[in-house]
Chain A
């Protein structure tokens, strides 16, 4: 059955329209953040019932005022710093726990290791919305309320299972001969891991660093639950909780903060997407 040229052209048009429609849906909120960031207040707060005022374009010259407010008059930079500080320690803890565990599951545990690795991955599915209540007891008991230490303690509960799973997959792709030959040359197993396996696993380790960091930056529920002082907040909570002030309109700076935080994450995610998806689809694709 051959398609006529007309049908082919129609199919192409349909395809382009589909792609355009989905792309527009995906990026519209980001476009909205961008234009809001640079609009003057008198251009922003007109009211949607005024049909003569097109909100999609700049009706007045763009301004840098909202950006200035964000960086000079809010704690945005403090929140960014807090987030990265927590992120760095969480990444470190994640590596220390997940790398040995993943290697062990990939090479040293035999049959029961497979079952165990699935069990570890399932803990990733225990939601924060079930755990925040017992954690609030634990945090109170340890005196960590309103302390970033609470987040450092708790965030590895989702980074460790996911990263162990990802890394285990990565170690399994390395041929066993790699460390066997090093061991024949007189290395111990641990020496072979340190000298041969880890350097080869660098791309996997980098993926884990990136994901532990991005999961930390994205986390909202625990940070909302355990941090109450404005100057100790992380960026994902500080912006929605502390920048929204009652009836005072702050949308320009607010949208600037959302956009500036989201854009780098989007770029990083794209670079590491394939490995991320591989972590979820194990066993379903062959």
Chain B
């Protein structure tokens, strides 16, 4: 069974023109509760987030006054924010690059038949299935300042000499390495299974036809696999980017943004300021910086789905 077969809506059914007015009315009634919920608890809070970023609202009270762009002005001159902004992009680009590269290699390896494939698939999927906060705790223990098994291995291998030591979570650069490692570990299964679904959906006849035409493996890769994989690759990249750009779990649990706020990303900084620090307006204005990329991704997705509709 592969996802291509299980993908039930792969082709949109042409809408029936024969819907009776009664059916249309029923359709609206059935849809109304879900739409009302989404409107009240996603759309309105979303607008409220925009609004709060323009106020001096704080956690202690429900009173606030309108301060215009003052939050944004103080935020963009703050070095901690600028560092978090940079970290967010580094975090997103580096981990997405690694995830897509490694995901492609792994998906191709999983495409072949071999003994124990089901077991391997199960094991490889585990990082994505485990609750992120608990899985990250496992890594926290692996990166422990005194008992890190990585340091033990590096000592045994002779990489770390006497007196040398890596404080994985106590150093800005190593902290980012640790954060990216954990996130790649977590996201790799997701991208791999999506890419695998794309690979298995390329019909065998296409490859056979290319063989008959005398195409070599390189030509097949560039002229068949990559073009046919592009739509699914874009799915993996789009979701991966959104999940990474807006994530605060890994940073919060591994380093809490430390040492000295050097490993914050936008989301974890928004949490620190807006929830822990109680400065709701400021936290909201930091979170707003997540928006441009999300909007861009949403537009790409809409375009993609429209193309799928036309095709």
B-contacting residues of A (Cβ < 8 Å)?
Answer: 1, 15-16, 18-19, 22-23, 25-30, 32-33, 36, 44-49, 51, 55-56, 96-98, 100-101, 103-105, 107-111, 113-114, 116, 118, 120, 122-123, 125-138, 140-141, 153-154, 156-157, 160-161, 164, 168-170, 172-173, 176, 189-190, 214, 217-218, 220-221, 224-225, 235-237, 239-240, 251, 254-255, 257-258, 261-262, 265-270, 273-275, 277-278, 280-286
Contact = CB atoms under 8 A, between A and B. Distances in A.
B250 to A, nearest CB: 10
Nearest to A27: B123
26 contacts: A27-B123, A29-B138, A32-B149, A51-B152, A51-B155, A97-B37, A110-B15, A123-B43, A129-B247, A132-B271, A133-B270, A133-B274, A136-B275, A137-B57, A153-B41, A160-B38, A176-B16, A221-B271, A239-B133, A262-B131, A278-B7, A283-B9, A283-B304, A283-B305, A283-B309, A285-B201
B169 interface: no
B248 A129 contact: yes
A146 B46 CA distance: 22
Contacts of A141: 62
A284 B232 contact: yes
A215 to B, nearest CB: 10
B13 A172 contact: yes
A134 B235 CA distance: 29
Contact of B284 (A96, A98, A133, A168): A133
Nearest to A97: B34
Given A49-B155, A284-B198, A114 B49 contact: no
Contact of B298 (A46, A125, A161): A125
Given A134-B49, A135-B45, A281-B235, A269 B129 contact: yes
B197 interface: yes
B42 to A, nearest CB: 5
A28 B142 CA distance: 10
A100 B32 CA distance: 9
A114 B26 CA distance: 17
Contact of A120 (B38, B156, B188): B38
Nearest to A31: B138
Contact of B134 (A45, A56, A236): A236
A140 B141 CA distance: 35
Contact of B26 (A22, A108, A236): A108
A274 B48 CA distance: 37
A44 B147 contact: yes
Interface residues of B, number: 122
Interface of B: 1-4, 6-13, 15-17, 19, 22-24, 26-28, 30-31, 33-35, 37-38, 41-43, 45-46, 48-49, 52, 57, 59, 62, 102, 105-106, 109-110, 112, 114, 120-139, 141-142, 146-149, 151-152, 155-156, 165, 185, 188-189, 193-194, 197-198, 201, 216, 231-232, 234-235, 239, 242, 246-249, 252-253, 266-267, 270-271, 274-275, 280, 283-284, 287-288, 290-291, 294, 297-298, 301-302, 304-305, 308-309, 311
B125 A281 contact: no
Contacts of B247: 129
B253 to A, nearest CB: 6
